[in-house]
A and B are shown apart, each in its own frame.
Chain A
Amino acid sequence: MTTQKPRWLNVKVVNGTYRVKLVIKDQTFVDELKRQIGANNRGWDPDTRSWVISPWALPELQSVIRRMGYQMPNFPPIRPSAPEIEEKIYRIDYVGQCKEREDKTITALGLVYGFWSVEIPEDVLKKFFDKGGKGLITDTETHYQILGLEETATPAEIKSAYRKYARQWHPDTCSEPEAPAMFRQINESYELLFNPVMRKRYDFGLHFEREAAKRQAKIDAAQTAAPRRKGRGGRRRRQFNENPYYRCPLRCGLVKVKGFQTVSKFKVTEIISWDDVTDQSGHVMSSSWEIVTKSVKIRWI
């Protein structure tokens, strides 16, 4: 009769988290760990080649260890503390597409010095970039929103936003497939908003569009049956791929945020500002996803 020798792992406490290091590589254990412990409560530390586990997930961790036949190590007690909101500035080299994560939240990841270490929820991105939105029109995007502007923006602010967005999306520098269409749209919005008469007409159009939406809401509320007509004739929100979630209109920047640190990522709760990253000679950083190499390409313009 052969008895299986119990497998073992090392556990240390570092900065209020458990660092779990497997002595021998075990992909089954890793898969089970990922299945049982949500992404919010676990992370991988490439420097020490160990798993970082939040003390909140200790019961799940112990259960995985038991189930996988490992010898139960001694877990020094850690009192889990509520996350502390802090303000940070990150140089984000690339913001990915919003996606549904394991915990059912919809977020985009930010690449910081080679690691996807910043997580920004979709609603936080929308709140920052969709400044023109008044919450009435849900299926359209205004020219102000395309340039991330308030409807009270001054001509100088319009020009500055245009430069920022055009630099990001110029087809010569951005290799993403939607770049030509985005660039055309940015130009169109700029030309319209920078012309005072056109802008005045557009503002009036927006005002009436909202009036129409209010009237439609009244009609819908008055009808007991399902509303007869739904669409308001609006252009669909910018969407160039199959992913139904929000796409951050800027790819990179020096971003001041509020949020809290989890074991794996900094979770953003609010974006305070989003500025250009410039080098010593005044060139501005622009980044895009290279489909061929499947990596982020940074250019200085």
Chain B
Amino acid sequence: MSMNQALTVGSVQAVAERDGVTLAETIMGVAALILFDNSESMTMPDCPNHQERFSVAMRELRRLQAAIEGKIGVVQFNTMPTFIPGGLPDDPAGSTDVASALEYVQKIDGCGIRIILISDGEPDNAPLAFEVAKRFTDTRIETVYIGPEGGSGAEFLRKLSALTGGVHVKQNVGEIPNLAATVTKLLSA
């Protein structure tokens, strides 16, 4: 798997470099962490014009960070979670370990930073993911489903956000091009 080291406008890394402050200080100022699913299933070309879910979602992620500079931290997850300071996840690979991703960001609980989980599929271990989600006492986990109409992953994500009092949004494959607007709405809610 190739690691993406591109830097998108408005990413925490780009803002840190622009402002000459540390990455840690820039991350302090984020409003939300996006847990972005980049598992294998994101390569499905079922978006309008046969585009892959991943490439459409990536474009939206880029737009989102450019619109609200320095306010979005990106964590990609598949078999393993990874923080992506440049804001653009690696090429899709592996499975969907939601539990590990939530554990990875658990330290932010109580910091006032929101978590928005964007995924298209079923997790490797749903009960474990629910267990980890219950450990968040002060943070709502919002979920955005990006997948086919009637896909089973949507129900899992709905339950996950309900556990923490978060909002669940369904974004069918045809609506992925509106992802940036959806996340912005979630943030202003």
Contacting pair B5 A197 (CB below 8 A): no
Q: Which residue of A lies closest to B5 (CB)?
A: A219
B111 A209 Cβ-Cβ under 8 A: no
A79 contacts partner chain B, Cβ-Cβ < 8 Å: no
Q: Does B136 contact A (CB under 8 A)?
A: no
Asked whether A200 and B17 contact (CB < 8 A) given A211-B83, A233-B23, the answer is no
The B-contacting residues of A in range 205-240, CB under 8 angstroms, are 205-209, 211-212, 215-216, 218-219, 222, 228-229, 231-235
| Set of chain A residues within 8 Å of B108, measured between Cβ atoms | 200-201, 204
Query: Which residues does chain B contribute within 8 Å of A203, judged by CB atoms?
Result: 107
In the bound complex, residues from chain A placing their C-beta under 8 Å from that of B5 are 216, 219, 228-229
Does A140 make an interface contact (CB < 8 A)? yes
Tell me, rounded to whole Å, the shortest Cβ–Cβ distance linking B18 to chain A.
8
The chain A residue sitting closest to B17, CB to CB, is: A233
Q: Which residues of A contact B32 (CB under 8 A)?
A: none
Contact of B111 among A140, A201, A215 (CB under 8 A): A201
A142 within 8 A of B: yes
B41 at the interface (CB under 8 A from A): no
In the assembled complex, A198 has its CB within 8 A of some CB on chain B:
yes
Interface size class of A (residues with CB under 8 A): 20 to 34
CB distance from B76 to the nearest CB of A (A): 10
Q: Is B27 an interface residue (CB 8 A)?
A: yes
Q: Mark B92-130, 1 if CB is under 8 A from A, else 0.
A: 000000000000000110111100000000000000000
Given A207-B107, A212-B83, A215-B83, residue A201 in contact with residue B28 (CB < 8 A): yes
Residues of B within 8 A of A207 (CB): 107
Q: A198-B28, A205-B27 are in contact. Are A212 and B73 (CB under 8 A)?
A: no
Does any Cβ of A come within 8 Å of B85's Cβ?
yes
B51 at the interface (CB under 8 A from A): no
Tell me whether B82 and A234 are in contact (CB under 8 A). Answer: no
Q: Is B143 an interface residue (CB 8 A)?
A: no
A142 to B22 Cα, complex, angstroms: 8
Consensus secondary structure, chain A interface: helix
Whole-angstrom distance between the Cβ of B119 and the nearest chain A Cβ: 21
B20 at the A/B interface (Cβ < 8 Å)? yes
Residue of B nearest to A196 (CB): B110
Instruction: Give the total of B residues in contact with A, Cβ under 8 Å.
Output: 26
Q: Is B110 touching A206 in the complex (CB atoms < 8 A)?
A: no
A233 touches B82 (CB 8 A): no
**Is there an interface contact between B23 and A205, defined as CB atoms closer than 8 Å?**
yes
| A10, chain B: closest CB distance, angstroms | 60
- Which residues of chain B come closer than 8 Å to A232, judged between CB atoms? 13, 16, 23, 85
Q: Mark B67-83, 1 if CB is under 8 A from A, else 0.
A: 00000010000000011
Do B26 and A204 touch (CB < 8 A)? no
Known: A202-B28, A205-B27, A209-B27. A234 touches B110 (CB 8 A): no
Smallest CB separation, A100 vs chain B (Å): 28
B3 and A215: CB pair below 8 A?
Answer: yes
Q: Which of B21, B28, B82 sits near A235, CB closer than 8 Å? A: B21
In the complex, what's the smallest C-beta–C-beta distance from A230 to chain B, in angstroms? Answer: 11
B175 to chain A: closest CB distance in Å?
A: 30
Cβ-neighbour of A211 out of B25, B28, B82, B110 (below 8 A): B82
B23:A208 contact, CB within 8 angstroms: yes
Bound Cα distance from A209 to B28, whole angstroms: 11
Chain B residues in 8 Å Cβ range of A229? 5, 7
CB atoms of B27 and A204 under 8 A apart: yes
Determine if B189 is an interface residue (Cβ-Cβ < 8 Å): no
Name the residue of chain A whose CB is nearest to the CB of B85.
Answer: A212
A202–B24 touching, CB < 8 Å:
yes
Question: Do the beta carbons of B24 and A209 come within 8 Å of each other?
Answer: yes
How far is it, in angstroms, between the C-alpha of A198 and the C-alpha of B25 when the chains are bound?
10
Q: Chain A: which residue is nearest B108 at the CB level?
A: A204
Q: Please tell me if the beta carbons of B16 and A233 are within 8 angstroms of each other in the complex.
A: yes
A–B Cβ pairs within 8 angstroms, 13 of them: A197-B110, A197-B112, A200-B110, A204-B28, A205-B25, A211-B83, A212-B23, A219-B5, A232-B13, A233-B21, A233-B22, A233-B85, A235-B20
Q: Apart from A200-B107, A204-B27, A204-B113, what are 15 other A-B pairs with CB-CB below 8 Å?
A: A201-B113, A202-B24, A202-B28, A203-B107, A204-B28, A204-B107, A204-B108, A204-B111, A205-B27, A208-B24, A208-B85, A209-B24, A215-B84, A219-B3, A231-B17
Give A residues with C-beta under 8 Å from B.
140, 142, 197-198, 200-209, 211-212, 215-216, 218-219, 222, 228-229, 231-235
Which of B's residues lie within 8 Å of A, judged by CB?
3, 5, 7, 13, 16-17, 20-28, 73, 82-85, 107-108, 110-113
